[in-house]
Amino acid sequence: MAPEARHRTTPSIRRPDSVVALRRALDAAGYTFAAVREALGADETLMVLPHQVPLANRRLGDGPLGTLIRLFVVDGTVTTEQAARALAPLSLQEAIGMGVVTLGRSRVHGAVRILPTNGASFVFASDLDATDPSDLPADFVMGVTESSRLLACLTVRRPVERALDLGTGCGYQAVFAAQHARQVVATDVNPRAVAFARFNAMLNGADNIEVRSGDGFGAVQEGEAFDLIVCNPPFVISPDRAFTYRDSGLHADDVSHNLVRQVPRFLRPSGLAHLLVSWIHPHSSDADDEWSGPLRGWVAEAAEPCDAWFFRKGSYDPLAYAIMWNQRLALANQMPRYVAAVDRWTRYFEHLGVGALAWGAVWLRRRDVERPRVRCDELPEASLSADAANELVRLLETDDLLEGLSDAELLACGVSVRGDQRLEQVMRWSGGAFRTVDASLIRDTGLASRAEVDPPLAAVLAGVDGSRTVGQVLEHAARALGGDPAAVSAQALPAIRQLVSHGFLELGGVG
């Protein structure tokens, strides 16, 4: 007998009691990230590829947790009795009416994916994946992906009045924001995403989220402003218009460009925006040193001044970028479609005259000053920790402090070394002794920063013992180097500012 076809549904919040009952069923079964991961033996994405389904099915027991995972994670089917037992206190009829399961000839199918989050007690419903990614409909509502998690880690979680999640999808960023914003506005152009976001807000008890339907800032009223704006847009630079969640349909990197240019208008003074973006390097060599050039240009076009902080995840040559964003086709063994997509994308990039393509994030802070600051950092290859934004706020506040400190004031500050770093030296045998040819300070936490240390700076660092002011450290270094204190100071102060700015050194009282 042919397998029963799955039906795509959109979850409904017409009966709020039913949504609450579904949440109770999930909680009663222990449907947490740790339990689901353990039951599946999956990695942290909780992704189960088609070839892993039989093994996953064998691992899952027949209890409520196993049944719910079959329905909502591995696209399996269960008997009506199993479904009724696992979904209680929600009745099977209510679950069908709500659109989270469908009834086939004899068995119950999951109609949405529902995944718990790592590190928080939220669950998010999204569309089921298709076995063949090219069969996904254009209005597919994606679940929580690497980009969703990156944006959430980069978002500052401090109490605010109003937050905006632009392009909310299943509502992931909005539900997190609802924990620390009094009111959240979440918008999406895709009506099915709007329905999923409303459903997930209710499933997670977030009653301070208003979900609106609309295109870009069209869903925001004139004069509305926010303390926090988060946006994970369809930032991928692509010639396709296959999926609303991925392809903006706009030319080249215009979706990111427009966003960076427009967002400041909707920020309250001191308000923060966190955006994911992709941008084009006109020349492949720009990917080395000049990577932030286009982003600087976009921020400069904004009518309202903002401090900007650019984070690069990576820059790629056109072929690597095309491969990266189409690899789902390769993973699903759709090789002819994969090859055609990579060819189409690379032709598009040739037509645009692209040297390389980058993606990453932008922080904007509305600040009415004449010369706002710009800062650039690389994101580490590994995932950021959930509290990464706290560390970034500390660095931002350090930059605020440094901006207000004259050199004379800086010289009077106490200075110490932060504990979470190491100094790596490469020494080479030369002229009868080992001599340092390369030295770097390295921090593995947060942005995993690295700073080159030349011999004069090494002499400065040798004097930082937590008991001296910056001025005393520089005098100590001038004696050790046998140099003029004023010259050493003039040379070393910018480097000290850099080390403080990147969290290698801390300013404070003298110990």
Ligand X SMILES: C[S@@+](CC[C@H](N)C(=O)[O-])C[C@H]1O[C@@H](n2cnc3c(N)ncnc32)[C@H](O)[C@@H]1O
Q: Which residues bind ligand X (CB under 6 A)?
A: 142, 144, 148, 151, 167-169, 172-173, 187-190, 193, 215-216, 232-234, 244-245, 248
Work out how close the CB of 502 gets to ligand X at its nearest, in angstroms, rounded to a whole number: 28
Residue 183 or 262: which CB sits closer to ligand X?
A: 262
Please enumerate in sequence order all residues whose Cβ is within 8 A of that of 74, keeping only pairs 6 or more positions apart, or say none: 40, 48, 53, 56, 57, 60
* Nearer to ligand X among residue 151 and residue 415 (C-beta): 151
Q: Are 226 and 271 in contact (CB under 8 A)?
A: yes
- Toward ligand X, which CB reaches closer, 164 or 477? 164
Contact 65, 35 (CB under 8 A): yes
Measured CA to CA, the distance from residue 419 to residue 400 in angstroms comes to 22
Sheet with strand 422-430: strands edge to edge: 422-430, 433-442, 450-452
Q: How far is the CB of 6 from ligand X (least distance, A)?
A: 22
CB of 147 to ligand X, least distance (A): 6
C-alpha–C-alpha distance, residues 324 and 206, integer Å: 35
Complex with ligand X: residue 193 or 302, whichever CB lies closer: 193
- Both tokens of 194, joined, read 């709007």
Shortest distance, CB of residue 307 to ligand X, whole angstroms? 23
Would you call the peptide bond into 89 cis, given omega within 30 degrees of 0 as the criterion? yes
**DSSP assignment letter at 376:** E
Give the single-character DSSP code of 218: G
CA–CA dist 208, 178 (Å, integer) = 6
C-beta of 40 vs 193, nearer to ligand X: 193
Q: In terms of CB distance, is 9 or 248 closer to ligand X?
A: 248
Cβ atoms of 305 and 387 closer than 8 Å? no
Min. distance of Cβ 257 from ligand X in angstroms?
Answer: 14
At its nearest, how many Å lie between ligand X and the CB of residue 238?
Answer: 12
- Give the closest residue to 196 by CA, choosing from 257, 287, 114: 114
CB of 134 to ligand X, least distance (A): 18
Q: How far is the CB of 247 from ligand X (least distance, A)?
A: 9
Taking the C-alpha atoms of residue 156 and residue 171, their distance in angstroms, rounded to an integer, is 17
CA distances from 114 to 73, 77, 299 (A): 7, 15, 38
Cα–Cα distance measured from residue 23 to residue 35, given in angstroms and rounded to the nearest whole number: 16
- Decide whether 151 or 441 has the Cβ nearer to ligand X: 151
The distance of closest approach from Cβ of residue 359 to ligand X in the complex, given in angstroms and rounded to an integer, is 12
- Rounded to whole angstroms, the Cα distance separating 495 from 392 reads 20
Residue whose entry in the numeric block shows the structure tokens 């030369």: 430
Residue 201 tokens read as 């807000």
Please identify, using beta-carbon distances, which residue of 167 and 271 lies nearer to ligand X: 167
What tokens were used for 408? 């004379």
Residue (48 or 230) nearer to ligand X, CB: 230
